[in-house]
């Protein structure tokens, strides 16, 4: 039982980190007043660029896999910044509709990744649309000393991906930047009441560019963290994690701490179908063995239920929860007031 809990928690953390990092990106851009629903597209770009980088750079150049992992992160961030830049210029400079420009990115990103994968033969084989991940090489087997702490050592410091530590660091830093620095105060003012910020001498456009760029950095990292630790193959999709991150941001009320808890909750649901395997008792209860004396005509039905119906219901849970929480939390939402609104200086 103890081992099962440790394994499940580790799995939950693995899924939660990309959600947290991406949702924090969304938080920064919205707090500055620009909606960015292109997190999904930027995640795909970050994942793609980072993955190609770690796969194509000769391993012999690097003293350790960790340095290679860092290089992947840097490449991912550059890709994310370019795509966030497209959105920023459209939304801030050109004053375009922010939903349209972000949707364009969401459409463009997977198409571009797929096109490059196939045309440059970046995948497993000629004509393949899948890139092999081989993420296990980045696993940190144990952190000396800390791994000996009971429980915490096993969850946080044994067989973990570097993304865990980067994710936690990003969470802490985001919280400090948002609430304890001049930058955070000004950014929040731009998202709440840009007219007030303008009158206080703050350059709204500059702050908003910074907000969108931060979302580009964090979403691309989120995508990179997701594919390197959670999947074996990458075929130009992050399976809706970017949109889930937006949901996490909304339920987290645009606050770092709440975002972290919401992400853990969603991650727990997302990993439930895999997690069940860690708990034999639960597995037995969900998928009871078919009794030997079952009439043959019922066996097919029962097999169908336990292999198709129940797993699908479990897989549905995060999305059902999304809808439920959305309905329940919509009234108390504390969205930045000016988020998504174009700021026009000359407007009266």
Partner 1 sequence: MDYAIEMLNITKTFGPLIANNDVTMQVKKGEIHAILGENGAGKSTLMSILFGLYKADGGIIKINGEQVDIKDPNDANRLKIGMVHQHFKLVEVFTVLQNIILGVENTKRGFLETDSARKKIIELSERYNLKIDLDKQIRDISVGMQQRVEIMKMLYRDADILIFDEPTAVLTPQEIDGLFDVIRFFAKEGKSIIIITHKLNEIMDIADRCTILRKGKCIKTVDVKDVNAEVLAELMVGREVNFTVEKTVAVPKEIVFEVQNLNLFDKDKTKKILNDINFNVRSGEIVCVAGIEGNGQTQLVRAISGLNPSVEAGSVMILNGINIVDKSIRDRIELGLSHIPEDRQRYGLIMDYNLSENMVSNTYYHPEFQKHGLIRFDQIKKYTEDLIQKYDIRSSLGATSSARSMSGGNQQKAIIARETSKNHNFLLAAQPTRGLDVGAIEYVHKTLIAERDRGNAILVISLELDEVMNISDRILVMHEGSIYAELDPKKTTISEIGLYMSGSKRQTSEVKHEQV
Q: Which spans of this chain sit near partner 1 (rule: CB under 8 A)? A: 176, 180-182, 185-186, 188-189, 192-193, 195-202, 331, 334, 337, 345-346, 348
Give the residue with the Cβ less far from partner 1, 87 or 186: 186
Q: What is the DSSP letter of 331?
A: G
Q: What are 142's strand-pairing partners? A: 158
DSSP 192-223: H-HHHHHHTT--HHHHHHHHHHHHHHHHHHHH
The whole-angstrom separation of Cα 42 and Cα 104 is: 11
**Minimum separation from the CB atom of position 98 to partner 1 (A):** 21
**Minimum separation from the CB atom of position 31 to partner 1 (A):** 11
Give the residue with the Cβ less far from partner 1, 111 or 185: 185
- Class of residue 306 by CB neighbours under 10 A (exposed 0-12, middle 13-18, buried 19+): middle
Q: What are 132's strand-pairing partners? A: 233
**Minimum separation from the CB atom of position 168 to partner 1 (A):** 20
The whole-angstrom separation of Cα 28 and Cα 183 is: 11
Q: What is the DSSP letter of 232?
A: S
**Minimum separation from the CB atom of position 338 to partner 1 (A):** 10
**Minimum separation from the CB atom of position 30 to partner 1 (A):** 14
- Class of residue 27 by CB neighbours under 10 A (exposed 0-12, middle 13-18, buried 19+): buried
Q: What are 140's strand-pairing partners? A: 160
For the record, the structure tokens of 200 come out as: 């206080």
Sign of CA dihedral 327, 222, 263, 312: positive
**Minimum separation from the CB atom of position 38 to partner 1 (A):** 26
List C-alpha distances in Å: 250 to 17, 39, 215, 221: 17, 14, 15, 20
The whole-angstrom separation of Cα 230 and Cα 307 is: 23
CA atoms within 13 Å, Cβ hemisphere of 335? 18
**Minimum separation from the CB atom of position 33 to partner 1 (A):** 12
**Minimum separation from the CB atom of position 189 to partner 1 (A):** 5
What kind and span of H or E run contains 160?
strand 158-160
Give the residue with the Cβ less far from partner 1, 201 or 289: 201
């Amino acid at each position: 039982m103890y081992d099962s809990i440790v394994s499940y928690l580790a799995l939950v953390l693995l899924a939660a980190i990309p959600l947290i990092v991406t949702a924090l990106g969304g938080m920064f851009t919205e707090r500055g007043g620009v909606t960015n629903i292109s997190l999904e597209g930027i995640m795909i770009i970050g994942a793609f660029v980072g993955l190609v980088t770690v796969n194509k750079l000769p391993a012999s150049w690097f003293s350790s896999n960790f340095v290679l992992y860092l290089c992947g992160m840097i490449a991912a961030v550059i890709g994310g910044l370019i795509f966030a830049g497209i959105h920023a210029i459209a939304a801030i400079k050109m004053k375009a509709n922010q939903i349209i420009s972000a949707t364009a990115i969401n459409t463009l990103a997977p198409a571009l990744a797929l096109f490059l994968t196939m045309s440059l033969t970046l995948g497993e084989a000629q004509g393949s649309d899948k890139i092999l991940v081989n993420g296990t090489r980045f696993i940190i087997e144990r952190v000396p000393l800390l791994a000996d702490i009971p429980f915490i050592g096993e969850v946080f410091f044994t067989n973990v991906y570097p993304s865990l530590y980067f994710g936690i660091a990003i969470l802490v830093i985001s919280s400090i930047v948002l609430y304890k620095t001049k930058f955070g105060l000004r950014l929040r003012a731009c998202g709440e009441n840009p007219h007030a910020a303008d009158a206080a001498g703050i350059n709204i456009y500059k702050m908003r560019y910074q907000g969108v760029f931060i979302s580009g950095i964090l979403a691309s990292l989120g995508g990179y963290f997701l594919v390197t630790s959670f999947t074996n193959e990458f075929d130009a999709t992050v399976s809706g994690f970017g949109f889930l991150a937006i949901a996490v941001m909304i339920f987290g009320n645009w606050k770092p701490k709440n975002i972290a808890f919401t992400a853990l909750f969603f991650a727990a649901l997302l990993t439930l179908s895999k997690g069940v395997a860690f708990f034999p008792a639960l597995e037995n209860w969900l998928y009871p063995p078919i009794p030997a004396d079952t009439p043959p005509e019922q066996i097919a039905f029962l097999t169908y239920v336990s292999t198709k119906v129940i797993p699908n219901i479990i897989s549905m849970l995060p999305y059902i929860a999304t809808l439920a929480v959305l309905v329940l939390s919509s009234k108390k939402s504390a969205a930045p007031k000016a988020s998504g609104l174009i700021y026009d200086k000359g407007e009266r």
